[in-house]
Structure 1
Amino acid sequence: MDEGAGPAPAGSGTPGGILRSRPERWLFKGIYGLVLASALVAALDVPGGEADPGQDALWVLLTAVTSGAAHGYAHVIAQRASGDGTARASRVRAVLVEWPLVVAVLPTVAMLLAAAAGWWAEETAADTALLCNTVALFVLGFSAARTAGLGRLSSCRAGALDMLIGLVIIAADALIE
């Protein structure tokens, strides 16, 4: 397939590789990973509870890997149910292309590990992760809109709507605490 011809249709058999997945897939999985990391860090940061940021980092990472694998495997099951007789390699690839979801949680994991190393308090790490993930949601929404050809103002609105997800998680965290 010619590089300038656009992305290959799903299931076309064209080798795209894990690293050459379509940008919209990266955005979808990146946003999903950021929301997942934010929700987990908000839920794991229990005020008054004994802080264990190392264990929290492990839970965030393990949940992301498990979610990615489950999402990829759900695609495999859907292909199988539709009677699509694709090769086993494409089934493995369906699971492996979920890597952006895992990558999206790594900054949160790093912040929690920094807290485990004593560089800052777990509460500070959790709050910083929530803030960084919210900003990243804006950036992903903005860049997706710009890639789609929208103007700056429309792209800012799209980014703000994505960022709203992070703000809802922050608000819910504040209300629950």
Structure 2
Amino acid sequence: MSDKVMPSVPPARRAEPLQRFLFGGVYGSVLASALAAALGGEHGPLDPGYDAAWVLVACIASAAAHGYAHAIAHRTADAASVTTSAVRSMLTEWPLVVAALPTVAALFGSYLRWWGEEGAIDVALTMNTVALFGWGLWSARAAGRSWPASCRVGCVDALIGLFIIGANVLTK
């Protein structure tokens, strides 16, 4: 064993990547659900390939905007240039985009004619609601909550997905 003492990373700083991952997962799931719910009611022929591409583009743009807003809001007098810190901050938002990929995949499956676009939207909304439950459960467990308390948090998160599903049903 070495006599070298490693600097300790504060617990709050160590948890930051997990917090960003969980935040991006919830945000991306909600965003993808809202975007998917807005599809299918347009007039004219359905174009699930176009819709899948736009869900992905919108999520990438949202991730970039969120990262850029953080970089601007937390601008400090450090040695890193604003451009470098902004790009680094935008790249840390990758979980938001990853959380939207199941929705993009469901729509792309519709583009490949594996199923209809309305079915793909229903599948995406269901997957995202289940994912929201999982994100809530995971975040509560990571915070040291008991299983029953974590399940309650997961259920509250899933309510967001159910709200989007309900709004989708009511508006169509």
TM over 0.5: yes
- Cα deviations across residues 11-41 of structure 1 (Å, max 9, x unaligned)? xxxxxxxxx9611111111100000000000
- Given the alignment of the two structures, is residue 8 of structure 1 paired with residue 13 of structure 2, yes or no? yes
1:4 CA displacement: 7.4
Equivalent position SS for 2:65: helix
Aligned partners of 1:108 and 1:124: how far apart in 2?
A: 12
Pair 51,141 (structure 1): closer, same or farther in 2 beyond 3 Å: same
| 1:61 maps to 2:64 | no
C-alpha distance in structure 1 between counterparts of 2:155 and 2:34, whole Å: 18
Matches within 5 A, 1:31-110: 31-46=26-41, 49-80=44-75, 83-88=76-81, 89-110=84-105
Residues in 2 aligned to 1:49 and 1:90: alpha-carbon distance in whole angstroms: 44
Structure with greater Cα Rg: 2
Q: Hey, what does 1:128 align to over in structure 2?
A: 123
- In the TM superposition, residue 50 of structure 1 has moved relative to its aligned partner by 2.1
Shift of residue 77 of structure 1?
Answer: 1.6
TM-superposition CA deviations, 1:59-97 (whole Å, max 9, x none): 1000000001111111122133xx533403333211110
**In the TM superposition, what whole-angstrom CA distance separates every residue of 1:72-129 from its partner, at most 9, and x where no partner exists?**
111122133xx53340333321111010000010111011001000000000000000
Once the 2 structures are TM-superposed, how far is the Cα of residue 49 of structure 1 from its aligned partner? 4.5
Paired residue type of 2:104: V
Q: Hey, what's the Cα distance between the residues in 1 that align with 2:8 and 2:51?
A: 42
TM-score, normalised on structure 2?
A: 0.88
SS of the residue 1:44 aligns to: coil
Correspondence 1:27 to 2:22: yes
Cα RMSD between the aligned structures? 2.1
In structure 2, the partner of 1:173 is: 168
> CA 1:8–1:173 in structure 2 vs 1: closer, same or farther (change >3 Å)?
same
Identity %: 52
Query: How far 1:51 sits from its partner (Å)?
Result: 1.2
Change (3 A) 1:21 1:53: farther
Give 1:48 deviation, angstroms.
Answer: 6.2
Looking at structure 1, the residues matched to 151 and 54 of structure 2 have their Cα atoms a distance apart, in angstroms, of 33
CA distance in 1 between counterparts of 2:77 and 2:136 reads 33
Structure 2 residue ranges without an equivalent (≥5): 1-5
| In structure 1, distance between residues paired with 2:121 and 2:22 | 23
Superposed structure 1 runs of 4+ greater than 6 Å apart: none
